Structure 1
Amino acid sequence: MSDTTKYKQYRRQVRACILQVAKDAKDWKTVAELHGVNERTAWGWIKAAMETGDWSG
């Protein structure tokens, strides 16, 4: 059995970058794609940031 996790982990800087772009009402989908982040994953981060008010990543 493998020790690897089912989910991909992303660098904190990538998450922060996507959140900043979304906060600025820019094209976060393109930024997510450029960083290899699934659109649904990025949207989850953005939704959480909108709910909590924490856009720091």
Structure 2
Amino acid sequence: MYVAPTPGKTAVQDHVALAEIELCGDLIIAASAADEERLSPDRIDEVLKVTDPDAQERG
């Protein structure tokens, strides 16, 4: 992501904060499209692309 510098000021990017904002946006989109009142923990993991390392060993 490119942020145009403001004349006379230094442009600062916080890549971690930008990534967190993107993940929050993904959750908001998923929640607004969901039929249920709340997202299940499994659905949240799916949206955030979280994998269970132990599941690979079990499966």
Instruction: State the structure with bigger RCO (CA 8 A, min sep 6), 1 or 2.
Output: 1
Q: TM (normalized to structure 2)?
A: 0.32
Q: TM (normalized to structure 1)?
A: 0.32
**Which has the larger Rg?**
2
